[in-house]
Structure 1
Amino acid sequence: MTASHPKLYLNLYWHMHQPDYRDSISGEYVLPWTYLHAIKDYTDMAYHLESNPAARVSFNFVPVLLDQLEDYADQFNSGKIRDPLLALLLREDMKSLTLDERCLILESCFKGHHEKMLAPFEHYQCLYNMYTKLEPRGKSMLNYLSGQYMADLIVWYHLAWTGESVRRNSSEIQMLMNKGSQFTLEDRQVLFRVMADLIRGLIPRYRALEATGRIEISTTPHYHPILPLLLDFRSTRDAMPYAPLPRYPQYPGGRQRACAHVQEAQEFHQHRFGKASNGMWPAEGAVSQEALILLAQHGVKWAATGEGVLANSLYKSFDSSGLPPRHEYLYKPYRVGNEQDSIMCFFRDDQLSDKIGFEYANLHADSAVADFVHHLEQIYEQHPGEQPPIVSVILDGENAWEYYPYNGYYFLSQLYTALSTHEHITMTTPSDLVQRCLQPDSGLPIGELPAVAAGSWVYGSFSTWIGSSDKNKGWDLLCEAKQAYDRVVQQGALTEAELAAATRQLAICEGSDWFWWFGDYNSGLSVSSFDHLFRRNLSNLYHLLQLDPPHTLDQAISAGSASSTAANAGTMRRGQSAESST
């Protein structure tokens, strides 16, 4: 290889998202995942960039996640805690817990990957052993589990969900872990204060990282809707020609709603980070020609999606009987649209992205990093021509790490070091790449994509969100609620404040997450939680519209599987099927 050979550009892009877990009427949180991921994953991910100044990556923060982080910060500041589990951490007398509160602690505080998040901690494992011995007794077990047991359990749960960077650098957390048991109210207050400081500091930490040029921060349409489906259910059939669709031919007023999600995201991003977001990760990487042009019309310079979408789009654009080897078409961005409304689109390397999400947790950090770098070197060596390869590795930046030893601490530390010091690799960001690509004689590759085949980063289709009986039923219930919303708005019966509350609730219901969980590839317990929350959100929408919810919302939409064999408990999915990625 000659010294003049151009480098490989690595666009490493972490996506951060949690749906809105709040009950919009009571204001109470139904599930605790936002603050738990905040003290573990969002904290650790910032730390690794702070500790590796030569590394450059991008983060995508969905606005509804940031809404909740700010809400938690407000709760810590006011002392009025509206998350039931978090509030129990501060309960003065654990002996006086109600039956429901004791059940909440037991049902919540063993959730996590046992091998990586429970078994390494002797005292936590002991609490679990006691629970499993008593579990066959049903609720009568509570007669044997003292208030001290409940205090120790809720402390250990939160310690297990604390980031590895915090465990290594916080003397308060180290004190609690060394103590191990018999936690007092004062101990629990110490833990609470550490968590409060972590969550209050998160957005400022990421803002500071972007200000120093170490990261780029992008956004997503506000409540994480599948834009192409809001625009046209029939876009499903680009990748799934025979898929059954919802009973309603279109989502009512879908284009207006899609625009609202995009506009709100831009406004909130400007407010939080002091600058506009150049790009967007469309929710679930879901794109279509119409959706990408809509983003371009709203000033979005770049977007990203999955490798399968690119393959389908090349077939659609060029009517090809077959694609060339993937290294000949994958490693460059593509321009979509016309001179007036164009956008640059990046396509993830599914295989490399899925290796981080699903495979490297089972390897020693040294071996995992060596394998990742080896694959990049192969791409570099075999890339044709004088133009450098641009490799996009895009994946969930929060859910993978509980399956890694030490929350991925060694893997991420070594990965950033190896990548930032490699002689043939340049770590960069999408906006930098777009700026370079558009310069005359930049030497960077740009493809032209006349037609986009609608799809997502999962299998290049929308099969995770539409096309089965339960997912379609969810859409039908949402369409009915949207029609009710439109009727009430047209009547002008709501005050400005009431209309704003109902519109926000509608946006929550339009999020992608509810449809993700419907299906027998997810565990019954997880499906039940999200099924109930979706129907609760729809019911709340009717209440905010001053209407009675239909009785159909009393019936479960999806049952899920009796036993979850889904990788990573359903929180993540591969870009390709496991068979096609081997």
Structure 2
Amino acid sequence: MIEKTLPNGSISRSKLGSTYLCLHGHFYQPPRENPFTHEIPIESGAAPFLNYNEKITAECYRPNAEEGNFAEISYNLGPTLAAWLEAHEPDVHQLIIDADRKHMERYGVGNAMAQAYNHTILPLATTRDKHTQILWGLQDFRHRYGRDAHGMWLAETAIDLECLDILAQYGVTYTVLAPWQAATAIDPTEPYTVPLKSGRSMTVFFYNGPLSGGVSFDSASTSNADVFASSYLPGHLVREKIDNGEPQLILIATDGELYGHHKPWRDKFLSHLIQHGAPEEGFEICTLERYMLLQPPTKEVQLRVPSAWSCEHGVARWGTGCSCTEGESNWKPVLRRALSRLAERGDLLFEQYASEILEDPWAARNDYLALRNGWESEESFWTRHGKGGQRPSALLEYRAQRLLEAQYYQQYSFTSCAFFFEDLDRIEPRNGIAFARRAISLIWQAIDVDLQYDFLQDLLPARSWRTQKNGVDLYKELPAVEDGLLPPFPLHF
């Protein structure tokens, strides 16, 4: 081994066989399609591309896929983004899927992780919705990759013990967290076990906070992959482990769009780092499930719950509001309450009316994704979920499908970005409201029950601190739809 002292006093050692580097990319785009037309409106900020999905594909997803970066890193591909890529950029989608297969052929384990389906902040979801979000994410993964997922990325790494236990029930064995989500002191260069109910457990990897933050926000740190490997990485190794020859892992986790979209040409940085920069400084590139095989966790950890990677206040950023965003955040609990109350009303109607058609409406909802996307035949679905194993009449089938589709869009309305940013009058909250309106429309079509009026009443107190528009203003500004698809709009709003 070769050891050298760097100008900053840190130690770099070449050919450290027990020192590993993992780069994780969280590749995700929220759905921006009009839920009535299923088309993304032209987004002028993405010019010369028609929308940001096209722009980010050209700048990030395609170059990273073509350069082979996906085969070397740990990554998750959000289901809503994957569906768009599959439909509009199928060659890029296939390259990303093939990367996991190549990793499996080489190491016996994959390197792709699943993602909870709608990027919902799970600690704020009901228990039933947690199950659906996790199951839909696992089903989408199985369809795309042809295998069961063993790891799952949770939106904003937001966790409570219940969602970790549900993951474990469905066969997920590991996830990624921020170091400040640990309740006690930890060494982020090794994985830990979280004990759960009934003897279940979850392995958690804590990413390196300073390095992940530096890669995300300090452009100078990622201007040269060789310098990054020789000057930045070694200072984050545990010297005692080096001296004792103990294995250690540096995990850098960032949004995947960083590599080429948020920071131009960083796909080249990533490629050089994993192919040359890090290996030449003695770091072995390794992914998370592979590391679990090589070095299983030996210590337990207690977690701060609920907690997330981008909020110092548990999960208040997406719930009650907090100082993590500028300005007034009192619109956030109002919007969440409006969406939650709509979902509660929709759930009651779904259970009441769908129970006449489906043996177990909630089990049918959990399996609806496969029917909706054509992964399961209608005959198979109705044999498993229809009353008495029978397909219903055309009228009742229409009603059931509209009610299931309403549930689908209720889930979409809780996408995390609706609450992430600083103000109500943005595209993200508008989209959350648009998905809720689609659920209202579907219930109206199915059973002639008007949920719009109460939703508008609940939305009214939500107000933008920048433009003074309220939630009803945003609802009224949504694109027009055909007559009859929504209840009559109340005149006094």
Judge conservation of contact 1:482–1:506 (CA < 8 Å) in 2. Answer: yes
Deviation at 1:59, TM superposition (A): 1.3
Cα distance between partner residues in 1 of 2:112 and 2:180: 25
Structure 2 CA distance for partners of 1:376 and 1:534, relative to 1, 3 Å: same
Flag the structure with higher helix content. 1
What residue number does 1:379 align with? 236
Cα distance between partner residues in 1 of 2:426 and 2:26: 25
Cα distance between partner residues in 2 of 1:408 and 1:553: 44
What residue number does 2:202 align with? 343
User: Within the alignment, does 1:205 sit opposite 2:98 as a pair?
Assistant: no
Deviation at 1:400, TM superposition (A): 5.8
Judge conservation of contact 1:531–1:558 (CA < 8 Å) in 2. Answer: no
What residue number does 2:371 align with? none
Deviation at 1:20, TM superposition (A): 1.4
What residue number does 1:98 align with? none
User: Within the alignment, does 1:26 sit opposite 2:42 as a pair?
Assistant: no
What residue number does 1:165 align with? none
Deviation at 1:67, TM superposition (A): 2.0
Structure 2 CA distance for partners of 1:462 and 1:437, relative to 1, 3 Å: same
Cα distance between partner residues in 2 of 1:364 and 1:478: 40
Cα distance between partner residues in 1 of 2:122 and 2:232: 33
Deviation at 1:6, TM superposition (A): 4.8
Moved more, 412-421 or 472-481: 412-421
Cα distance between partner residues in 1 of 2:231 and 2:431: 44
What residue number does 1:513 align with? 417
- Of residues 287, 293, 300, the one that matches 1:435 is 293
Judge conservation of contact 1:464–1:515 (CA < 8 Å) in 2. Answer: yes
What residue number does 1:481 align with? 342
Where structure 1 has 5 or more consecutive residues not aligned to the other structure, the ranges are 74-198, 231-253, 315-322, 439-444, 563-582
Give runs of aligned pairs for residues 126-141 of structure 1, distance below 5 A: none
What residue number does 2:315 align with? 462
Give runs of aligned pairs for residues 231-242 of structure 1, distance below 5 A: none
Judge conservation of contact 1:280–1:303 (CA < 8 Å) in 2. Answer: yes
The aligned amino acid for 1:228 is P
3-state secondary structure, aligned to 1:13: strand
Cα distance between partner residues in 2 of 1:435 and 1:282: 22
Deviation at 1:427, TM superposition (A): 0.8
- Of residues 30, 33, 41, the one that matches 2:60 is 41
- Of residues 465, 478, 498, the one that matches 2:402 is 498
3-state secondary structure, aligned to 1:545: helix
The aligned amino acid for 1:402 is H
Cα distance between partner residues in 1 of 2:178 and 2:349: 39
User: Within the alignment, does 1:222 sit opposite 2:127 as a pair?
Assistant: no
What residue number does 1:9 align with? 20
- Of residues 85, 88, 101, the one that matches 1:69 is 85
Give runs of aligned pairs for residues 224-303 of structure 1, distance below 5 A: 224-230=119-125, 254-303=126-175
3-state secondary structure, aligned to 2:452: coil
Deviation at 1:528, TM superposition (A): 2.0
Deviation at 1:218, TM superposition (A): 0.9
- Of residues 173, 177, 184, the one that matches 1:305 is 177
The aligned amino acid for 1:224 is H
Give the number of equivalent residue pairs: 381
Cα distance between partner residues in 1 of 2:346 and 2:319: 22
Deviation at 1:558, TM superposition (A): 5.2
Cα distance between partner residues in 1 of 2:250 and 2:233: 8
Judge conservation of contact 1:531–1:557 (CA < 8 Å) in 2. Answer: no
3-state secondary structure, aligned to 2:115: coil
Judge conservation of contact 2:339–2:436 (CA < 8 Å) in 1. Answer: yes
Structure 2 CA distance for partners of 1:446 and 1:382, relative to 1, 3 Å: same
Deviation at 1:467, TM superposition (A): 2.3
Judge conservation of contact 1:478–1:510 (CA < 8 Å) in 2. Answer: yes
Structure 2 CA distance for partners of 1:374 and 1:4, relative to 1, 3 Å: closer
What residue number does 1:422 align with? 280
Structure 2 CA distance for partners of 1:276 and 1:285, relative to 1, 3 Å: same
- Of residues 516, 532, 550, the one that matches 2:430 is 532
3-state secondary structure, aligned to 1:448: coil
Deviation at 1:453, TM superposition (A): 3.1
Cα distance between partner residues in 1 of 2:229 and 2:320: 35
- Comparing both chains, which one has the higher relative contact order based on Cα–Cα distances under 8 Å and sequence gaps of 6 or more? 1
The aligned amino acid for 1:36 is K
Cα distance between partner residues in 2 of 1:264 and 1:459: 26
3-state secondary structure, aligned to 2:22: strand
What residue number does 2:76 align with? 60
Structure 2 CA distance for partners of 1:456 and 1:554, relative to 1, 3 Å: closer
Deviation at 1:450, TM superposition (A): 4.0
Deviation at 1:447, TM superposition (A): 2.4
Deviations 1:383-420 (A, max 9, x none): 43442221111110114633434x32442333223345
Aligned identity (percent) is: 20
Deviation at 1:302, TM superposition (A): 0.5
What residue number does 2:249 align with? 390
Judge conservation of contact 2:175–2:203 (CA < 8 Å) in 1. Answer: yes
Judge conservation of contact 1:227–1:286 (CA < 8 Å) in 2. Answer: yes
Judge conservation of contact 2:342–2:451 (CA < 8 Å) in 1. Answer: no
Judge conservation of contact 2:259–2:270 (CA < 8 Å) in 1. Answer: no
Judge conservation of contact 2:24–2:252 (CA < 8 Å) in 1. Answer: yes
User: Within the alignment, does 1:542 sit opposite 2:440 as a pair?
Assistant: yes
Cα distance between partner residues in 2 of 1:423 and 1:554: 56
Where structure 2 has 5 or more consecutive residues not aligned to the other structure, the ranges are 3-13, 44-50, 322-329, 355-395, 445-449, 468-493
Structure 2 CA distance for partners of 1:353 and 1:558, relative to 1, 3 Å: farther
Deviations 1:305-356 (A, max 9, x none): 111102xx21xxxxxxxx5xxxx62211110125731110011111101111
Structure 2 CA distance for partners of 1:56 and 1:446, relative to 1, 3 Å: farther
Cα distance between partner residues in 2 of 1:399 and 1:561: 28
